[in-house]
Structure 1
Amino acid sequence: MSVLEKINSEELIALESQYGAHNYHPLPVVLSRGEGVYVWDVDGKKYYDFLSAYSAVNQGHCHPKIINALITQAQTLTLTSRAFFNDKLGKYEQFITDLFGFDKVLPMNTGAEAVETAIKICRKWAYESKGIDEHEAVIVVCENNFHGRTTTIISFSNDANARKNFGPFSDGFAAIPYDDVQSLQLLLENNKNIAGFLVEPIQGEAGVYVPSEGFIAKAKELCKKHNVLFIADEVQTGIARTGSLLAVCGDCTCESKCEQQNTYTRPDILILGKAVSGGVYPVSAVLADDSIMHVIKPGQHGSTFGGNPLAAAVATAALEVIADEHLAQNARRLGKLFRLKMNEYIQNSTIVSLVRGKGLLNAIVINDTEQSSTAWNICLKLAENGLLAKPTHGNIIRFAPPLIMTEEQLLDCVSIIISTLQEFEK
């Protein structure tokens, strides 16, 4: 068979099944094109994308400004490694640190890499600045977290499926329940070896769990009191997804310099990924001030592709789009509308028990067990009706459309979701 020969969806799915590792369980839809809030399958059927590649495509599919930046840079210089300087990285580093209000950035490629980088920085800071004995540092995490699936990260995950038969695991982590200030306080008061607190401002993969008001701010206050680094994983929640530039910005509606706002809980280390690239090219970043980042010296951390000129050009354009098109404000406004319409529906629903979220990161909880196939079947029917979404944790469906969505498009999506759910009402 020629690689140029057109083949159908079933054959393409079979190819992945035969030649690819089975580490995902996709919906049986084969996509071949995307533009804005829409994607098309190989048969030409059009769908609303209500997942946005897990919030990597906040700016919409194939945004012209981001694509042009990719093409222009790709025709000039793509990779030098960090053995040499290049003419894009410094400008990008200045841009992103100024945008988020930090002294330094350490550029990487993927979200999991960025989390690993933050862990390394935190530990080294603990030994060299805080004075914790080497190999004794502990980083506090939250139960039901999702920070990636590398060996270190699954060491502090309580997802049995992600952990089974992947040990032995790394030490140096202590878990508390999410949204539990008292548990954090108890740990900090009774363990002098705590180096950092790693937390998602909203737990996305766990089912879009939004913590109680004040949790993030109180956690930061406790960390400051005990000289512990507050580390915010905003790989999924950052870049305007929750209605502000970062989820830790709270109700701030500005697009930069968030440290000037009263609602902003400034992390000591900020982890970014996904939409930093607009879904065009893998880009992640770890930001911190000089007093923390200074512990990293040449040869102690890096990546061949981290900080390459192509990534720098793409990320700069992607972040400019967020401000130019006021996507944080749009996410805030449309998110409120989405939850309003869904809450109106579930008042008389037997199939949906709850809607929750912030901005355009939302989820509905299906009135069934995690082991049931109801949510999966609903997503299959949603696809038939022209909208793509995916279950998480069995009975939760996450909804995260591109932030460029219009009100008319959102209401059309709400209509599709409600009409689909009605088919499953008892």
Structure 2
Amino acid sequence: MDHAAEPVAQPAAPPSSGLGARIGMLAVAGGFVAANGHFSQPLLPAMAHDFGVPAAAMGVLPAVTQLGLAVGLLTVLPLYDLFERRRTIVATLVLLAIAAAVQSTSHSLAALWGTAFLVGLGCCAAQLMTPYAALLAPKGREGQASSLVLSGVLTGVLLSRVVAGLVEQTIGWRYLYAGSSLCILLIAIVLAKTGTPSMPAQRTGYRSLMRSMGALIGAMPRLRRHALNGALTMGALMAFWATYAGHLLAQFQMNPLQTGLIGLVGVAGAAGASVAGGWVDKGRYRHAQLIAALLMLAGYALLWQSHASIALFCAGVLLIDLGGGLSHAGNQSSAFALDPAARGRINSVYMVSYFLGGAVSVSISTLLFATAGWSAVCGYAAVLALLLLGMELVRPVATLPRTDG
């Protein structure tokens, strides 16, 4: 199994009071990058009007972007272990900047969908930044650094819909993508000039690299567990996000703008992610996982009882997102520590599982909401959180071998 080495020269440690400006820059950059994958969701009616097509036809656009992201998680993230890391991130950022620029000038559906796929592919740059942040961090603070970047990514996703809606109401959606393209290009230039070079010591072919991902899965019980935990976490979160708008409309007669503002409570997820890595660095992964599962259980209990109280509903959203961010960042940071030389492939395995867990849960929860209502969705998500809790209580991750054999 091929492994890539750590950087040939460790960067100077950031000041003791913080992780340094470069880690903060990566967190902000990750938010900008991730937002591009979600800008289109509130823009679909305006885009459909511009292209003269039914809204249902334009509804394919977010799915195309997510398809590009899924392909990138599987095929682009492993490149972190194959090529010089800084250049890999910069190249992916340039791809995203070009795709966003072309999308802002697209005048045919074929061009729009093609660039949407490339936007999703380019958004993988955010997931390349999380292991890179761990690489730049001083020893013993790798988890804190990667979780800080993940916090920025989650914040970017959360704010993307609000920003997109505001820009569309003022200057139009094309200017949003054009402006985003310029911002991403600027980020690429800054990273190219200030980032630390990191060349893998052992070079291999792409085919061998992809084959080694299967070997990593087979050889690392803890990686398999982290991947499963990630799938359950994303599944529990997406059960809510896939159905909450319909519930708010039916129960509280909320319009899309009000629904979007309620969704801002989800900023708690970024707060949870920002602290999880520090806990992992201090050997408290189990604490993070147990607390995360309990928070999500409590959150869904409140959501189940929130039929007549919007305050209770918001409290439930805050708890499930806080728990979800804590679990996701804790699992990712702990997985990175398994083999620093294989962080790109480890991140690919983890994020593909995380993505698939959410995709499957969207289908299940949507069906449950349509056939059995909101209470069934809350019960289903609570079962996923119970599985997270039960597995860590019965057999903690720390009791699993790091590698088999």
Task: Provide TM-score, normalisation by structure 1.
Answer: 0.26
Structure of higher CA gyration radius: 1
Higher fraction of strand = 1
Task: Provide TM-score, normalisation by structure 2.
Answer: 0.27
